[in-house]
């Protein structure tokens, strides 16, 4: 009889635990708002629901969610008042209060970083990292921002490129900041076809790496006040500190224009899918091989950049640099990474990495790719399975020829206090909240089938070299030259890419002064310019290697196509401008 009562007590205890577990699951789900009937236009695994929190708030970059559920978003190029605070007052999942604030200097148009850390909101511009003290219950933070790190990039002798400022923090009071490369590879004359790479690269001391700083110290200067934590990394827009193994992880943008600047070594198809976008685990002192090597995800190895062929670097020495955990296809543009530490989602997602792919600009003549949220299951500091499609539906009609035709471009990831996943995008400024409402105990492969099927769509699968070529059989003369040298940046439709490459359509640069337009082709362009009221600051390499006839054909096409049928340009006009350049430089 004694044994009977002991067993009875045990089964009662087990039953009570089961009831408490089921109650907690139901309670958590009951606290979540309903998803939109169409899941906000997104495709997610079974059991998940999506609600649109806010729409059209401005070009939303990185974001963070406070302990009370308030959302903070950093806008691109918002000088004063470039921060948006969002609050859901009635708990229906929609932002009832949307407020713009922020009084700080913004010297660029990236507006990248946004993280909460130890009672402060940290955010970055192209040139600065600031912080503002969080105040309990207060959405608008009107205190004067404290300048933590400043970058005097406009006086950098190496030039201006890849200066987005993603930020993350470790558990010991350090902030980590990337300073990207001034170009695709390290060259004295940046982005010039046939220009060899500089060896050894003088830029590596101050560029192409990650620096560690004191997160609480004011008025630090990049790079002299920081510790050079890692090097050989071209460009980072997303990084996160993984608390499960206390290590820094990044997703890296690979180089551009393999074929355009090295047409003898690479086809346009190879240039579209290479080099890899790398998912890296970073320890102090690591070197990822830039500018000498890029990662080839098909061969599974680092490959010598063509600009360094014949300079005495052994191809096999690529194995001496750190290798990526995953090599994603080229030009997907990974712009954020988040290790999921919440309890709302099934265990499959615990401590795994979500990655936001912003979408490519350099895949012409093949369809643009990326534009989705991926998930990488993780265990013991390594991927524990194949990467998955987690959220899709951003790209619109396919195949996508021009980046400006994409209705949404995924940008940022953030986790709410209840474990919900928040997503932002840069075109409309839409914010989504992804919630799990299904049975966590029975979540499995069958629930992933709907999103895994998306891997066969043109914006994710590897393009066929012939079938998927969007330019086959239709381009002649100046249009062919444009497709080869201009479309990867300015796009086939001439509308450019937001914040990076200015448009050509209906601009004074195209239909205005001919001599200035010819000069841009012959001399390139660098520094601040304004196009249709929008500021840009980047580098367009010179194309003086084209003949006078080729430049005339190119610009005649551009002016006719994008300049309201403006009259053409002759080879004699190009020759005259080239001669003027020569006389000035002699």
Burial pattern 117-152, b for ≥16 Cβ within 10 A else e, equals: beebbbbbbbbbbbbbebeeeebebeeebbebbbbe
For 419, what's the count of Cα atoms within 13 Å in the CB-facing half-sphere?
19
Element spanning 220, H or E: strand 220-221
Residues paired with 230 in a beta bridge = 210
Distance CA 150, CA 144 (A): 16
User: Smallest Cα–Cα separation from 387: which of 402, 377, 373, 398?
Assistant: 377
Beta pairing class for 128-133 and 120-124: antiparallel
- Rounded Cα gap, residues 173 and 241, in angstroms: 12
d(CA 122, CA 353): 22
Kindly give the interhelix angle for 477-485 and 548-562, rounded to the nearest 10 degrees. 90
CA distances to 276, 278, 328 from 300, in Å: 10, 11, 11
Cis peptide before 443 (omega within 30 of 0): no
Dihedral (CA of 400, 405, 407, 412) sign: positive
Q: Are 278 and 168 in contact (CB under 8 A)?
A: no
* Rounded Cα distance, 248 and 227, in Å: 15
Q: Which residues contact 440 (CB under 8 A, 6 or more apart)?
A: 25, 345, 346, 347
Place of tokens 């470790």: 170
Query: Residue written as tokens 């300048």?
Result: 147
**Three-class SS of residue 309?**
coil
Q: What does the alpha-carbon distance between residue 551 and residue 543 come to, in Å, rounded to a whole number?
A: 9
| The pLDDT of residue 412 | 98
Q: How far apart are CA 330 and CA 341, in angstroms?
A: 29
**47: part of which helix (H) or strand (E)?**
none
**Residue 140 DSSP symbol:** S
DSSP-based three-state secondary structure for 451? helix
Whole-number pLDDT of residue 302: 98
Tokens of 283: 């320890």
Q: Are 375 and 390 in contact (CB under 8 A)?
A: yes
Angstrom distance (rounded) from CA 26 to CA 69? 20
For the whole model, what pTM was predicted?
0.86
Rounded to whole angstroms, how far apart are CA atoms 483 and 85? 42
Query: Do residues 247 and 281 make contact, with C-beta atoms less than 8 angstroms apart?
Result: yes
Q: 504-507 — which CB contacts under 8 Å span 24+ positions?
A: 504/558, 504/562, 504/563, 505/562, 506/532, 506/562, 506/563, 506/564, 507/531, 507/532, 507/562, 507/563
pLDDT one digit per residue (tens) for the chain, 586 residues: 555 445 555 555 444 444 444 444 444 567 999 999 999 999 999 999 999 999 999 999 999 999 999 999 999 876 668 999 999 999 999 999 999 999 888 766 677 899 999 999 999 998 899 999 999 999 999 899 999 999 877 778 777 788 899 999 999 999 999 999 999 999 988 878 888 999 999 999 999 999 999 999 999 998 889 999 999 999 999 999 999 999 999 999 999 989 888 888 999 999 999 999 999 999 999 999 999 999 999 999 999 999 999 999 999 999 999 999 999 999 999 999 999 999 999 999 999 999 999 998 889 889 999 999 999 999 888 999 999 999 999 999 999 998 989 999 999 999 999 999 999 999 999 999 999 999 999 999 999 999 999 999 999 999 999 999 988 766 668 888 888 888 888 988 999 887 778 999 989 988 888 889 988 998 888 777 888 878 787 778 888 888 888 888 888 888 888 987 788 888 788 888 888 777 665 5
For the beta sheet containing 48-54, the strands, ordered from the edge strand earlier in sequence to the opposite edge, are 48-54, 431-436, 421-425, 410-415
Report the candidate in 274, 279, 494, 423 with the shortest Cα–Cα distance to residue 362: 274
Are 422 and 433 spatial neighbours (Cβ–Cβ below 8 Å)? yes
- Which residue in the block uniquely carries the two structure tokens 């200015």? 502
Greatest Cα pair distance in the chain: 110
Non-local (6+) Cβ contacts of 108 within 8 A are: 77, 125, 126, 127, 153, 163, 537
C-alpha closest to that of 96 among 87, 105, 84, 104: 87
Q: Which residue has the tokens 């940008």?
A: 411
Cα–Cα distance measured from residue 139 to residue 71, given in angstroms and rounded to the nearest whole number: 9
Regarding beta strands 146-150 and 220-221, do their DSSP bridges make them parallel or antiparallel, or are they unpaired? parallel
* Whether the Cβ atoms of residue 107 and residue 128 lie closer than 8 Å to each other: yes
**Contact (CB, 8 A) for 121 and 101:** no
For residue 544, with 0-12 CB atoms within 10 Å meaning exposed, 13-18 middle and 19 or more buried, which class applies? Answer: middle
Cα Rg for the chain, rounded, in angstroms?
A: 25
């Amino acid at each position: 009889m004694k044994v009977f009562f002991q067993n009875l007590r045990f089964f009662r205890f087990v039953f009570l635990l089961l009831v408490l577990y089921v109650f907690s699951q139901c309670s958590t789900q009951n606290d979540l708002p309903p998803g939109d009937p169409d899941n906000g236009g997104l495709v997610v695994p079974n059991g998940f629901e999506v609600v649109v929190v806010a729409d059209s708030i401005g070009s939303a970059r990185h974001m963070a969610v406070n302990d009370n559920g308030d959302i903070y978003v950093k806008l691109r190029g918002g000088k004063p008042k470039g921060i948006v605070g969002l609050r859901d007052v009635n708990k229906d999942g929609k932002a009832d209060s949307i407020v713009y604030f922020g009084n700080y200097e913004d010297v660029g148009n990236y507006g990248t970083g946004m993280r909460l850390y130890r009672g402060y909101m940290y955010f970055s511009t192209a040139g600065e990292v600031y912080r503002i003290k969080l105040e309990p219950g207060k959405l608008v933070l009107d205190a004067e921002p404290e300048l933590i790190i400043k970058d005097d990039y406009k006086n950098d002798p190496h030039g201006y490129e890849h200066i987005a400022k993603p930020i993350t923090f470790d558990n010991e009071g350090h902030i980590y900041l990337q300073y990207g490369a001034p170009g695709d590879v390290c060259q004295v004359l940046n982005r010039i076809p046939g220009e060899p790479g500089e060896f050894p690269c003088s830029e590596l001391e101050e560029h192409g790496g990650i620096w560690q700083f004191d997160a609480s110290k004011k008025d630090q200067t990049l790079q002299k006040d920081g510790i050079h934590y890692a090097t050989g990394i071209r460009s980072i827009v997303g990084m996160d500190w993984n608390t499960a193994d206390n290590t820094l992880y990044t997703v890296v943008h690979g180089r551009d224009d393999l074929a355009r600047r090295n047409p003898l070594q690479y086809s346009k198809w190879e240039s579209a899918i290479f080099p890899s976008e790398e998912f890296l685990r970073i320890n102090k002192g690591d070197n990822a091989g830039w500018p000498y090597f890029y990662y080839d995800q098909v061969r599974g190895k680092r490959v010598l950049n063509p600009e360094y062929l014949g300079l005495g670097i052994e191809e096999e020495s690529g194995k001496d640099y750190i290798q990526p955990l995953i090599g994603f296809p080229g030009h997907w543009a990974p712009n954020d990474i988040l290790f999921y530490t919440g309890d709302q989602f099934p265990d499959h997602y615990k401590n795994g990495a979500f990655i936001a792919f912003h979408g490519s600009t350099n895949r012409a003549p093949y369809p643009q790719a990326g534009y989705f949220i991926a998930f990488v299951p993780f265990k013991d500091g390594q991927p524990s399975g194949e990467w998955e499609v987690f959220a899709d539906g951003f790209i619109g009609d396919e195949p996508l020829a021009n980046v400006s035709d994409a209705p949404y471009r995924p940008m940022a990831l953030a986790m709410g206090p209840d474990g919900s996943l928040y997503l932002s995008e840069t075109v409309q400024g839409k914010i989504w909240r992804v919630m799990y409402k299904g049975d966590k105990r029975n979540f499995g492969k069958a629930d992933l089938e709907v999103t895994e099927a998306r891997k066969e769509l043109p914006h994710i699968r590897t393009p066929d070299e012939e079938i998927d070529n969007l330019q086959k059989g239709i381009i002649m003369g100046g249009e062919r030259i444009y497709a080869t040298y201009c479309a990867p940046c300015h796009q086939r439709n001439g509308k450019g890419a937001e914040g990076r490459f200015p448009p050509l359509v209906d601009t004074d640069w195209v239909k205005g002064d001919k001599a200035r337009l010819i000069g841009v082709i012959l001399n390139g362009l660098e520094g601040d310019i304004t196009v249709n009221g929008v500021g840009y600051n980047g580098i367009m390499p010179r194309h003086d290697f084209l003949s006078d006839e080729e430049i005339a054909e190119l610009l005649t096409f551009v002016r006719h196509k994008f300049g309201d049928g403006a009259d053409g340009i002759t080879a004699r006009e190009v020759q005259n401008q080239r001669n003027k350049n020569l006389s000035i430089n002699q």
